[in-house]
Amino acid sequence: MQSRLDKSPVATWWWTIDRWFLAAFLSLMGLGIVLSFAASPAVAERIGLDSFHFATRQIIFTVPALGVMLAVSFLESRQIRRMSLVMLCIMLVLMVAVLYIGVEVKGARRWVSIAGLSIQPSEFLKPAFVIMCAWLFAEHKRQPDIPGNLFAMLLLVLVVSLLVAQPDLGQTMLTTGTWGIMFFMAGLPWIWITVLGATGIGGVFAAYTVFPHVALRIDKFLTGEGDTFQVDMGRDALINGGWFGVGPGEGTVKRVIPDSHADFVFSVAGEEFGLIMCFFIMSIFAFIVLRGLNTALKEHDDFTRYAVGGLVTVFGLQAVINMCVNLQLVPAKGMTLPFISYGGSSQIAIAISMGMVLALTRKRPEKRKQMGFALSQRAMPAE
């Protein structure tokens, strides 16, 4: 335990960090390892790998993810902006490169191999995109002469264009939705709400018309016809688990669904550990989002407010989409459950995002002094 008299960087970090956030993130990481041991052995054996191949790799991914999250949480706001700008530029270049040299999987190019490592640039793009948009919105509010809102719109158009070109419509909707919520937090006029709402509806219709796989997934969801094997099995697994589950290792969904350790790990949790476990997982995600939005609401600094709000929003929306797919409430879409689903790029990218949340929500004495000075100035009677 660190003493409050200790002024070292680690001690200062410990006494200023939001430990509720930290505990929630560590809980999700721990659940990811536990559920990987539950869901992945059957998948590994089916494709001829060692039973604990994916579980071992999940631990290997989690260790650096934890290190990255803690390292980022030590940064100041200015350092986070600078890091995000560099990361945004690099990922935009890789997003262009992936269209030409990326690995094609099921008709989409989303991965690029660098030094033997497979990287999904869109995962790392999201936190950088949120931070830079938060900065642009904040600068426009601070000085209306600065066209921050316009630059944020242009950045959104650029990012969405690259995502659609892959194509990755799930990440497109996630990014656009998060941007819209941040714009709303920044004082979005009602006319823009109407325009953006109409644009979103038009985008969905265009995706349905242009991309056959999107039309197929929506049609299958609405009619229940066609190949709905994975989503049907995922839903049935949750029903089969009941309140308390069939027991660790006793589930059947992981033996037949190819992505049970990734996109459908929530169904495995429900079948083997019951709806109680599902509600527990949902409550952690809800806690993170609600605490993040509540913290953002109380924050006096515009940049911090928009950044924290945007980061927890993209985190929460991704979790909601994954869980809704498992519950067959939305059309099937491959999207990981943050910190729990198997995946290296996803783990590291989400760790960076949540490290930023930890850094931006730290209690900073200089901010309290400035706030106290401002309040005292307001309280002074006019001469």
For 240, counting Cβ atoms within 10 Å of its Cβ (0-12 exposed, 13-18 middle, 19+ buried), the class is: middle
pLDDT per position in the chain (383 positions), as tens?
555 656 677 878 888 899 999 999 999 999 999 988 888 888 888 888 888 888 888 899 999 999 999 999 999 999 999 999 999 999 999 999 888 887 766 666 777 877 667 788 888 999 999 999 999 999 988 888 888 888 998 999 999 989 988 878 888 888 988 998 898 888 877 777 777 778 778 877 777 777 776 777 777 766 766 566 777 777 788 888 888 888 887 777 777 777 777 788 888 888 889 899 999 999 999 999 999 999 998 888 899 999 999 999 999 999 999 898 888 777 777 788 899 988 878 899 999 999 999 999 998 755 544 444 444 444 445 44
**132 close to 149: Cβ distance less than 8 angstroms:** no
Cα separation, 257 vs 229, in Å, equals 8
| Residue 103 CB contacts under 8 Å (≥ 6 apart), including other chains | 109, 111, 112, 113, 118
Q: Which pLDDT does position 225 carry in this prediction? A: 65
Provide the whole-model pTM: 0.87
**109 close to 156: Cβ distance less than 8 angstroms:** no
Cα separation, 303 vs 204, in Å, equals 31
Cα separation, 156 vs 161, in Å, equals 8
Closest CA to 114 of 275, 283, 344: 344
Q: Which pLDDT does position 83 carry in this prediction? A: 94
Residue 168 CB-half CA count within 13 A: 24
Query: Virtual CA dihedral for 174, 177, 182, 187, nearest 10 degrees?
Result: 170
| Secondary structure (H, E, C), the chain | CCCCCCCCHHHHHHHHCCHHHHHHHHHHHHHHHHHHHHHHHHHHHHCCCCCCHHHHHHHHHHHHHHHHHHHHCCCCHHHHHHHHHHHHHHHHHHHHHHHHHCEEECCEEEEEEECCEEECHHHHHHHHHHHHHHHHHHHHHHCCCCCHHHHHHHHHHHHHHHHHHCCCHHHHHHHHHHHHHHHHHCCCCHHHHHHHHHHHHHHHHHHHHHCHHHHHHHHHHHHCCCCCHHHHHHHHHHHHHCCCCCCCCCCCHHHCCCCCCCCCHHHHHHHHHHHHHHHHHHHHHHHHHHHHHHHHHHCCCHHHHHHHHHHHHHHHHHHHHHHHHHCCCCCCCCCCCCCCCCCHHHHHHHHHHHHHHHHHCCCCHHHHHHHHHHHHHHHCCCC
Q: Which pLDDT does position 78 carry in this prediction? A: 92
**307 close to 130: Cβ distance less than 8 angstroms:** yes
Residue type (1 letter), 91: M
Q: Which pLDDT does position 348 carry in this prediction? A: 92
Q: Buried (b) or exposed (e) across 103-137, using 16+ Cβ within 10 A?
A: eeeeebbbbbeeeeeebbbbbbbbbbbbbbbbbbb
